[in-house]
Chain A
């Protein structure tokens, strides 16, 4: 594999006086899927927000293909090919499914981003989105809303997709449906960072994983190699383990 598409170096982030991340070193290669696991409050979402320019960080803490990009404005990150499926889905309430998706298509056009995603292709992936095209997003089920949120991020034509707890609060059947879309995303050559509460799901869907605990990396390794024991050690505390 070539060099990392994105990496962080001693990434520190805070909310006011509260420090949430204590020097995270992380990297993801082109085409790779990396899972980020950890308990509530471990700093997983904060990590994604910091990478995405939603929290102030120093320029040299985040690198994309060798250039320092820490703290770059979120809309510029999208322009560089990073998109996020945010925690809580964050759809545009009051707008239809199609308009929510069109916003991303519009901006990809404006920013000159080209890629393999289009509305018809998204409809193949999630047929329900075609059926509900005119429905206001707030009247969709949680799973359908998550599909819109994923679709909106894909239509930004990302090279790197950040997914923040896309299974949260959904029924197992819906979770399977949503995770079934991941191989197709990866087939596009898109790298994926998955923040996931469900450790089994995270291991299954990723090449490598990082476990966070209280803002620090406590475990890194290849997903098929890390053991349950090592993960529970890293998840709940104890010494830093590298597999």
Chain B
């Protein structure tokens, strides 16, 4: 029962990781842009959300309604102002540019919010739970998982079926050939990054409801998102979702073995996948 409980908690944790990983799956997996500031953007959005909540007394879902459009705008600006100038065959320039952005964001956040940990008051939903057959399941983690599934489903459908999704996949495959069919690659990329960061708007609300956030916390989110995308396989949105589940479950099982072993267990599984199936579980060889 103890292990089954760990499995359930792991899947729920995976729901949170999936929300970090989806934007990464789009940017790193599809567009091949390495955004090192991914985690810092989650933290920035979380802190903005917390400030909105405390200044205007907004509930968590009202904060979400405000935060997601803000995140979309932030992503669009990130691509227009920085990433469109450095995208190309070589992934190094985008890595360096966003590494710089990551440092700048962390220091900006320290300046504004100080190094203290904060969280978003959830009006009680963060502590509600349901008991099913001897297992306590938190209401909030279930909501997180439901959102994660819905976002994954929506993103996957958009990529596969919509005009925008086809244009993005075309631009990712061959930017010049995409332009030859009338696509404006910069505009498509700006919209894609807007969506990638927009999803972080959801992640930010849930992250700051579940636990506390502080300006230096972005690194962990970045690593988990990277690991989930690589475990799942580059270019596959559901792969990133499954990768998040693998990571969440491994960590939860690891925590049961030893509280200090959880995070390490996740990294070990990541290394194992990288060593035995480098294209990822759902990647094409």
Contacts and interface: CB of A to CB of B under 8 A. Distances in A.
B182 to A, nearest CB: 3
Interface in B211-267: 235
Contacts, number: 76
Determine which residue in B174, B184, B185 has the highest number of CB atoms from chain A within 10 A of its CB, and name it.
B184
B169 A84 contact: no
Given A54-B176, A74-B176, A86-B177, A92 B170 contact: yes
A136 to B, nearest CB: 9
A103 B166 CA distance: 6
A75 B167 contact: no
Contacts of A104: 181-182
A103 B180 contact: no
Interface in B167-205: 167, 169-170, 173-174, 176-185
Contacts of A78: 179-182
Contact of B182 (A54, A91, A108): A108
Contacts of A176: none
Nearest to A89: B177
A156 B182 contact: yes
Interface string A72-114: 0111001100011010001111110001101110111111010
B166 A83 contact: no
A108 B163 CA distance: 11
Interface of A: 52, 54, 73-75, 78-79, 83-84, 86, 90-95, 99-100, 102-104, 106-111, 113, 152-153, 156
Closest 5 CB pairs of A and B: A107-B182, A78-B182, A90-B177, A74-B179, A92-B173
Given A78-B179, A102-B166, 15 more contacts: A52-B180, A54-B179, A75-B182, A75-B184, A78-B180, A90-B176, A91-B177, A94-B169, A95-B166, A99-B169, A103-B178, A104-B181, A107-B182, A152-B181, A153-B181
